[in-house]
């Protein structure tokens, strides 16, 4: 039987108190603010001795050596094989070396040799840039001469692979110098010298024949690498009041809607409206093995944390920044945060919000009072509990407090908690979770003095994140086949600007992730004065009205009254393939099914050559079919050019909902996602040693 995590044991104890003490839950339910709930939990006699100790997966040289030797065996099998090196054996060897690197003690020879082994696999599979990074890491150790010279030879092969002939020759000359100055036996020196001279001759020959056709060694367009991402800029210029947003948006407030975003001009489909760095973010446990903990990019050959064996990074820069900003506060308690079955998946994100507040208040030091730093904006939440749709009272985080910064703790703190709509049991579980997170923080920041303030702040974010945090996603494209692409959740982030957008079951914007960034684009044409509407999960295409309303009321505590809900739009399987009607481009009234001979709207009497629009639609319909072929072959920019124009023209004249329009929208949205975080199985790597 698996041992219960310390949080699950803690929660079980609190549930027992609630069951055994008749007045406990009744008294807890009467409390009117988070501070009182926290104080009641902290005062429980049964919890006075509760504390958190180290809980993390450390390093183990014995395990590292075992994994490395298994990798060596597979590496030899791959080298001797005539099978495509992208075969599963090479992949398994790479995974074994990476696992060995993750668990090897910092500075150990196991770590150095694991890097060396991984270099050989990466070179064989064509990942020369990654291999060169590992060469540099391995050469940072005090290696035996033979190992160091072999690594230099591998580095030369990487440069040869890249057709960087001069660099390859320079590295091999360095290897010869090191060999001459070594104390190796003469026969060993002679053998190794012969190998290096032979390699130099090969490189020199290839250098002379560089005008001949070389093997294609770089990845194809169907296999985009995270390093080639282009980060878009917001369209229409940057917003002076909300720096993460476009100047085409403004922040508004009403008692019914809370905060919301509105268009200040007509916005074209495809426009980039928000590009936002999260205030804090967290990867899921599964994603930590494949993605950089800091930038969230896919990492085929990661480097580990220097202390734990759970997380990975793409580079030393990300590792150092991540450690300074947040990982130093979570490393030694990470197992506790990831292993608990009953702890919300938002718990690590909430923990990160708290430690980020501290790190940004004093980024150069781990000293100071953590509770005071992170709760600088803390206030009693009773003023907002009665109205869950009001994000802020007039004095806190109001439009008057511009600029609205994604990096400002106040922007996250001002998010709605919906505390007044939650059940006592829900609040009790979250209060217990906040108590547990506070104890984790106390373990790593022992100078923290105000448990009530810190726990109250954590409780607030445990509630607000369930309504305001957003997924960080990737699209998994098995073997590069777009037809089988599926979206996968990597983790979550606190995006204060994105959270200003309210929900619609027929949204006018779409979100996608590039690394940890959240990009929001217009998926329809948006008129001046229209609200910017995101989708929180249930879309009218995939969920019927009852399902959508139930989900939104349970998770977000509101009843949706968007056009799809108010007009009871059908789901995708019941939408008509053909256009059900056209509308006037001026007044949006229905003008029938025939556009060819129509010159004037029968309703507003304004003129328009609808016949010309009808002809353009027919041309675009044919081009759309070709654009879908572009999508299947990952010619994403070509596909986008056609599909965005087709959506633009359809949106202006077709009556919604329209199946052709939403299909084209989906193609556009998929292209945007595929230009961001993707994870594809490589199938065409053919380099061999």
What burial class does residue 364 get, using C-beta atoms within 10 Å of its C-beta: 0-12 exposed, 13-18 middle, 19+ buried?
exposed
Query: Among 71-85, 257-271, 299-313, where is mean pLDDT lowest?
Result: 71-85
**Pairing assessment for the beta strands 486-494 and 280-283 based on DSSP bridges:** antiparallel
Q: What share of the chain has pLDDT > 90, as a percent? A: 75
| Interval 306-324: pLDDT, tens | 999 999 999 999 999 999 9
pLDDT bin (cut points 50, 70, 90) of residue 393 is: very low
* pLDDT score for 83: 53
Quickly state the pLDDT bin for 581 (edges 50, 70, 90). confident
| CATH architecture designation of domain 61-205 | Alpha Horseshoe (1.25)
| pLDDT at 395 > cutoff 80 | no
Q: Strand, coil or helix: what is 402?
A: coil
Band the pLDDT of 49: cuts 50, 70, 90: very high
Q: What's the pLDDT score for residue 238?
A: 97
CA–CA dist 493, 221 (Å, integer): 29
Percent of the chain with pLDDT over 70: 88
Q: What pTM was estimated for this model as a whole?
A: 0.89
Confidence at residue 89, expressed as pLDDT on a 0 to 100 scale: 83
d(CA 535, CA 471): 12
pLDDT tens figures, 81-109 = 655 555 678 889 999 999 999 999 999 99
Residue-range domain boundaries for the chain? 61-205, 578-689
Q: Which has the closest alpha carbon to 598: 478, 2, 589, 228?
A: 589
Of the listed ranges 110-124, 133-147, 276-290, 566-580, the least confidently predicted one is: 566-580
Tell me the mean pLDDT in the region 12-25. 94
pLDDT one-digit tens code per residue, 122-155 = 999 899 999 999 999 999 999 999 999 999 999 9
Query: What was the pLDDT predicted at 580?
Result: 77
Average pLDDT score over residue span 379-395: 41
Contacts for 390 with CB less than 8 Å, ≥ 6 apart: 255, 258, 384, 416
Q: Which tokens belong to 682?
A: 């490589």
499-518 b/e (C-beta count within 10 Å ≥ 16 → b) = bbbbbbbbbbbbbbbbbbbb
At residue 473 the predicted structure's pLDDT band, cuts being 50, 70 and 90, is very high
- Rounded to an integer, the average pLDDT of 569-577 is 89
What SS3 string covers 461-504?
Answer: HHHHHHHHCEEEEEEEEHHHCHHHCEEEEEEEEECCCHHHCEEC
pLDDT value of residue 229: 56
Q: What is the residue-averaged pLDDT of the chain?
A: 88
Neighbours of 495 (CB within 10 A): 29
Residue with tokens 């409206």: 273
Label residue 244 exposed, middle or buried (CB < 10 Å: 0-12, 13-18, 19+): buried
- Does the pLDDT value for residue 544 go beyond 70? yes
Instruction: Assign 1 a pLDDT band (cuts: 50, 70, 90).
Output: low
The pLDDT score that the predictor gives to residue 318 is 98
**Proportion of the chain in helix, strand, coil states, percent, rounded to 5:** 50, 10, 40
Helix, coil or strand: residue 22: helix
Reported as a pLDDT band with limits 50, 70 and 90, residue 446 is confident
- Closest CA relative to residue 146, chosen from 113, 108, 103: 113
């Amino acid at each position: 039987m698996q041992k219960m995590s310390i949080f699950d044991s803690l929660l079980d104890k609190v549930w027992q108190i609630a069951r055994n003490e008749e007045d406990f839950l009744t008294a807890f339910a009467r409390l009117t603010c988070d501070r009182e709930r926290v104080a009641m939990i902290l005062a429980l006699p049964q919890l006075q001795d509760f504390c958190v100790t180290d809980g993390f997966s450390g390093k183990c040289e014995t395990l590292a050596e075992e994994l490395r030797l298994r990798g060596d065996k597979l590496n030899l099998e791959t080298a001797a094989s005539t099978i495509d090196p992208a075969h599963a054996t090479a992949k398994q060897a790479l995974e074994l070396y990476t696992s060995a690197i993750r668990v090897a003690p910092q500075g150990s020879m196991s770590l150095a040799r694991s890097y060396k082994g991984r270099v050989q696999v990466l070179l064989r599979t064509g990942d020369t840039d990654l291999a060169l990074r590992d060469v540099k890491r391995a050469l940072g150790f005090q290696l035996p001469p033979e190992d160091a010279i072999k690594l230099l030879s591998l580095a030369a092969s990487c440069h040869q692979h890249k057709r960087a002939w001069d660099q390859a020759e320079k590295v091999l000359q360095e290897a010869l110098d090191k060999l001459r100055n070594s104390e190796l036996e003469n026969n060993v020196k002679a053998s190794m010298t012969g190998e290096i001279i032979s390699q130099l001759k090969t490189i020199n020959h290839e250098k002379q024949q560089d005008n001949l056709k070389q093997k294609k060694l770089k990845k194809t367009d169907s296999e985009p690498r995270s390093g080639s991402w282009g980060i878009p800029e917001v369209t229409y210029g940057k917003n002076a009041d909300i720096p993460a947003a476009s100047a085409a948006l403004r922040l508004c407030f009403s008692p019914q809607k809370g905060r919301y975003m509105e268009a200040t001009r007509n916005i074209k489909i495809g426009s980039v409206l928000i590009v936002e760095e999260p205030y804090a973010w967290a990867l899921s446990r599964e994603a930590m093995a494949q993605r950089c903990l800091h930038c969230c990019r896919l990492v085929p050959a990661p480097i580990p944390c220097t202390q734990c064996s759970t997380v990975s990074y793409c580079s030393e820069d990300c590792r150092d920044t991540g450690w300074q900003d947040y990982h130093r506060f979570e490393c030694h308690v990470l197992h506790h945060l990831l292993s608990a079955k009953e702890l919300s998946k938002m718990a690590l994100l909430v923990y990160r919000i708290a430690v980020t507040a501290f790190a940004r208040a004093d980024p150069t030091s781990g000293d100071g009072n953590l509770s005071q730093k992170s709760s600088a904006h803390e206030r009693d939440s009773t003023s907002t509990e009665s109205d869950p749709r009001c994000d802020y009272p007039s004095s806190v985080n109001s439009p008057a407090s511009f600029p609205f910064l994604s990096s400002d703790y106040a922007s996250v703190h001002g998010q709605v908690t919906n505390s007044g709509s939650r059940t006592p049991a829900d609040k009790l579980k979250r209060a217990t979770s906040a108590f547990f997170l506070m104890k984790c923080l106390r373990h790593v920041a022992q100078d923290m003095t105000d448990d009530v303030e810190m726990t109250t702040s954590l409780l607030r974010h445990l509630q607000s994140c369930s309504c305001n945090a957003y997924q960080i996603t990737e699209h998994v494209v098995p073997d590069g086949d777009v037809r089988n692409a599926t979206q996968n959740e990597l983790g979550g982030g606190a995006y204060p600007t994105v959270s200003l957008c309210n929900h619609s079951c027929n949204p006018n914007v779409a979100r996608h992730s590039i690394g940890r960034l959240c990009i929001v684009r217009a998926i329809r044409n948006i008129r001046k004065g229209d609200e910017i509407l995101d989708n929180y999960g249930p879309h009218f295409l995939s969920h019927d009205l009852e399902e959508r309303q139930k989900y939104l009321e349970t998770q977000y505590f509101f009843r949706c009254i968007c056009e799809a809900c108010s007009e009871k739009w059908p789901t995708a399987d019941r939408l008509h393939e053909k256009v059900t009607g056209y509308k006037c481009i001026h007044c949006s009234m229905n003008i029938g099914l025939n556009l060819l001979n129509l010159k004037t709207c029968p309703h507003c009497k304004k003129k328009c050559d609808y016949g010309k629009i009808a002809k353009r639609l027919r041309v675009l319909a044919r081009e759309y079919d070709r654009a879908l072929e572009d999508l299947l072959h990952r010619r994403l920019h070509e596909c986008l050019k056609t599909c965005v124009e087709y959506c633009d023209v359809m949106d202006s004249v077709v009556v919604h909902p329209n199946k052709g329009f939403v299909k084209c929208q989906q193609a556009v949205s998929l292209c945007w996602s595929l230009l961001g975080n993707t994870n594809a199985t490589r199938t065409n790597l053919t380099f061999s040693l």
